Structure formats: C-alpha cells, structure tokens
Amino acid sequence: MRIIPVIDLKDGLAVHAVKGERQTYQPVKSVLLDTAEPLALANAFRQKIGSHEAYIADLDAILHARPQFELIAKLAHGSELNLMVDAGIHDPHSVLELLSTGASKVIIGAETLTTWDELQDIQDHVPGEKLVFSLDMRNGEILSRCPTLNTLSPLDAIQRLHANGWQEIILLDLARVGTQSGIDRQLIATIRQKYPDLTLLVGGGIRDINDLQSLKNSGVSGVLVATILHLGQLNRDQISALG
C-alpha cells in the first residue's frame, strides 16, 4: 500500500490543513524539520521516511485561481518525488500546462469542478494514467460546484466515475483532515467490494498505524497522510512494514 505524504501550499509555504478551514491554516510545524519551506519538506519526506511520491494541494489555485506553477516545478525537479497535484484545474489546457511543470499526475477535484462535461473534455485530451479524480466531501457529503455531482451520494458518484473510465480516485473528507478522528470504514469497504479493480486512495482522519493496517487489509491502494508524520507518530520502519 502506498503511503503518500501531503504538502498543502499557501502563499509559498507548506501549511498544516485542519478540517478544511483554510483561512486558519498555519505554516507546518513538524518533527521532520524546522521550516515550512516546501522543497525542504518534500526532501524530508524523501530522505527521512523514504517517500517516492507526494500529494500537493495548491490552495492559492484552488481558492483564488492563482496557481503556483513555478513552485510546483521547483518541487518536481528539486525533490525527485512523483507529484500528484490538485491546482483547482478543470480544463484540458490547464491540465497539460500543469503536467509541463514536471507534475506526474493532475488531480481533478470535485470541489472545483463546475460541470460534468468538463470531465469528458479532459479525458478526451489527456491520457488516463496522468489523471486522478478527487471525490471531495465534507462530513460525508460531496463538496462540488458541479450540479450533477451535488445530486449524487458518494457511492453513486464512484459508480458513475468508474463507468466513465476513471481508474484512480481519492476519497477525501475535508472535515476529517488534520483531526485524527478516524475514517469511514463502511463506505471504504463498500467501494472496495463493488469496485475491486479501482485504485482507491483515502485521505482525512488517519489516526495511527492501526488505521493504516486496516486500510491495507481492506484493499485500499494508498493513503494520504500529514498530521501523523508531523507529530512523529509514523516512521520509516512502520511505512516499510506496510509495504
């Protein structure tokens, strides 16, 4: 199972996400390093916990349509990590522009999607292996500007995305992020049972190594983590043991 560290970017710094309340996010304080400089954090993830990839959320892009592509390129080329990046993108041109920075994959987030047709347009112009869909939620309900998505339950949305060829999907509840409040085991188990071929990534609420082991046992492909890394509650040996 992939353990994927998270870097949230805001105003050029790495910030610690809590409950999706972005106006309150503060620069990261971590046992891994003594700075919130994003490249230093990326390198700490690679060198100290053995990461090969990272999840990047460009909050300036998501919130204010001010993408930090120069910073993302710096991270891509300076850290040697494979980056999957959410920059609030929902059109093919912007996807290709982001890939040109060195990002390995582009995340299309439910939160910033405005119409369902945008997904098909992106799929028509970008190879599927370069795309990840993030089913953004708050307290178990889909968070999106897209009217089609807003009428669906998370399970129905997964079914529709899977039927339309999306093979890698993030299940992300923003209300759980940074809280160590636990995961929605029932929803995750149902998705794994119904769509065993889906590459399912889970983020938000991870408490400890026991949660990670449980997710591995349920067949989850990867987990997004930040808080337990910064608190020193997950180390390189534990990650290696998860395989």
> Residue 65: is its pLDDT beyond 80?
yes
Residues 58, 97: Cα–Cα separation, whole Å: 14
The residue among 169, 226, 227 whose CA lies nearest residue 200 is 169
The residue among 110, 105, 72, 70 whose CA lies nearest residue 90 is 110
Please write the tens of the pLDDT for every residue from 2-15.
999 999 999 999 99
132 - beta bridge partners?
107
**Mean pLDDT of the 111-140 span:** 96
Evaluate whether 185 touches 151 at the Cβ level (below 8 Å). Answer: no
pLDDT at 26: 93
- For residue 150, the enclosing domain spans 2-242
Please write the tens of the pLDDT for every residue from 160-201.
999 999 999 999 999 899 888 888 889 999 999 999 999 999
pLDDT at 18: 84
Q: C-alpha distances in angstroms, 133 versus 11, 31, 161, 168, 173?
A: 25, 31, 8, 7, 14
Please write the tens of the pLDDT for every residue from 78-90.
999 999 999 999 9
> Residue 22: is its pLDDT beyond 90?
no
pLDDT at 23: 76
The residue among 75, 76, 69, 78 whose CA lies nearest residue 97 is 69
Predicted confidence band at 223 (pLDDT cuts at 50, 70, 90)?
very high
Residues 218, 191: Cα–Cα separation, whole Å: 10
Residues 224, 2: Cα–Cα separation, whole Å: 9
Within 10 A of 161 (CB to CB), how many other CB atoms are there? 20
pLDDT at 17: 85
Q: Which residues contact 148 (CB under 8 A, 6 or more apart)?
A: 115, 116
Domains: count for the chain? 1
Residues 110, 153: Cα–Cα separation, whole Å: 13
pTM score over 0.85: yes
> Residue 20: is its pLDDT beyond 80?
no
Please write the tens of the pLDDT for every residue from 136-148.
999 999 999 999 9
CATH of the domain at 162: 3.20.20.70
For residue 7, the one-letter residue type is: I
> Residue 243: is its pLDDT beyond 80?
no
Helices (H) and strands (E) counted in the chain, each on its own, are 11, 11
Tokens 């700075």 -> residue = 35
14 - beta bridge partners?
9
> Residue 21: is its pLDDT beyond 80?
no
pLDDT at 178: 86
Residue 225 Cα to chain centre, angstroms: 9
Evaluate whether 226 touches 9 at the Cβ level (below 8 Å). Answer: no
Tokens 């998501």 -> residue = 62
pLDDT at 226: 95
